[in-house]
Amino acid sequence: MIKRIGYVILVALLLTGCGAKKRRTTHRKGAPVISRTETKETPKTAEDRAKGSNLYPMPEDPGRFEKFPISDTQEYIKTFAEIAQYEMRAFGIPASITLAQGILESGSGRGELTLKTNNHFGIKCHTGWEGEFDFHDDDAKGECFRKYNHPMFSFRDHSLFLTTRSRYAFLFDYRRDDYKKWAHGLKQAGYATDRQYPQKLIALIERYDLHKYDEAVVETSDEPVRQPTADETAQAEEILTHTVKKGDTLYAISRKYEISVDELKRMNQLKDNTISIGQVLNVGVQ
């Protein structure tokens, strides 16, 4: 626990000391030394975003695997919120989205893969990966996943993953604090096969008020926040519905749309499991 707190403090100092120019190395062995330069603006173009790792480099790799025993989601947020905000400043990805993805994909830091690799986003080895790795059963048995000595490098790889692949480029046209558009955009770009992935991210963000971390970054940035158009707002809020037909049950509908029965009841203000033919149920947003 003392080691974990020590590295959290290290990152906190890095985040709060952006005015000091220090030379740091990246997390990969043998990587060139790079300098951090002060900036308050979120990168605007693909080229600018590619420079994010130079403007906001990671501290030196600790050289040994650090364990992070997280007890619950609140502790996960408290531990990694500053890292997510740091990545938002560097690359323009909403901290709320990064945190929600981390919570969902790492099981709030308690998933089997995360515990043995510090990999919070399920990033696989892929061609060209020269770092450490471990094997884990995912879509197939014994797949290769990246392993990090500290979770902060997993967060950085997640940022690079989104900023260096062209299919995610359109996301950076969205407002930096528009987590709903980002959530739906990730699904549109093919980040996840789960049809309810956007809804799950949004639910986590709103349940734990993760958007406040976006707002804190935006407030300290010189770059104005782009306002959404009317069409964008309407698209983000488009409601998906299901008309009940003969033989339907809440359980069957929940399986079809990959949401829980409790969530269906909450969304439609149902006091019990009774539904009727022709009844229109909200089943999510598109």
Give one DSSP letter per residue of 179-211, joined into a string. HHHHHHHHHHTTS---TTHHHHHHHHHHHTTTH
Claim to verify: residue 138 and residue 183 sit in the same structural domain: yes
pLDDT tens per residue across span 170-208: 999 898 889 999 999 999 888 888 889 999 999 999 999
Kindly state the helix (H) or strand (E) to which residue 61 belongs, with its residue range.
none
Claim to verify: residue 216 and residue 244 sit in the same structural domain: no
pLDDT at 100: 97
User: Which of 23-27, 130-134, 274-278 comes out lowest in average pLDDT?
Assistant: 23-27
Claim to verify: residue 219 and residue 247 sit in the same structural domain: no
pLDDT at 138: 63
User: Percent of the chain scored above 70 by pLDDT?
Assistant: 71
**Reported confidence tier of residue 97, pLDDT bands at 50, 70, 90:** very high
Identify any residues that bridge with 133 across adjacent strands, giving them in sequence order: 146
pLDDT tens per residue across span 106-147: 999 999 999 999 999 988 886 667 778 888 666 567 688 899
With beta carbons less than 8 A apart as the criterion, state whether 119 and 147 touch.
yes
With beta carbons less than 8 A apart as the criterion, state whether 83 and 10 touch.
no
Q: What angle do CA 22, 25, 28 make, to 5 degrees?
A: 165
User: Which of 104-118, 225-239, 272-286 comes out lowest in average pLDDT?
Assistant: 225-239
Claim to verify: residue 22 and residue 153 sit in the same structural domain: yes
Claim to verify: residue 225 and residue 244 sit in the same structural domain: no
Domain harbouring 87, CATH code: 1.10.530.10
User: How many domains does the chain fold into?
Assistant: 2
Claim to verify: residue 197 and residue 262 sit in the same structural domain: no
Claim to verify: residue 243 and residue 226 sit in the same structural domain: no
Claim to verify: residue 122 and residue 171 sit in the same structural domain: yes
Domain harbouring 280, CATH code: 3.10.350.10
d(CA 150, CA 175): 30
Q: What is the mean pLDDT of the chain?
A: 77
Claim to verify: residue 71 and residue 15 sit in the same structural domain: yes
pLDDT tens per residue across span 249-263: 988 888 887 778 887
**Segments forming the whole domain that contains residue 273:** 238-285
pLDDT tens per residue across span 34-63: 233 334 444 455 555 555 667 788 888 888
Claim to verify: residue 273 and residue 137 sit in the same structural domain: no
What are the φ/ψ torsions at residue 162 (nearest 5 degrees)?
-75, -30
Instruction: Among 197, 212, 232, identify where a domain stops.
Output: 232
Identify any residues that bridge with 51 across adjacent strands, giving them in sequence order: none
Query: Which residues, in sequence order, are CB contacts of 70 under 8 Å at separation 6+?
Result: 76, 79, 108, 109, 110
Claim to verify: residue 173 and residue 248 sit in the same structural domain: no
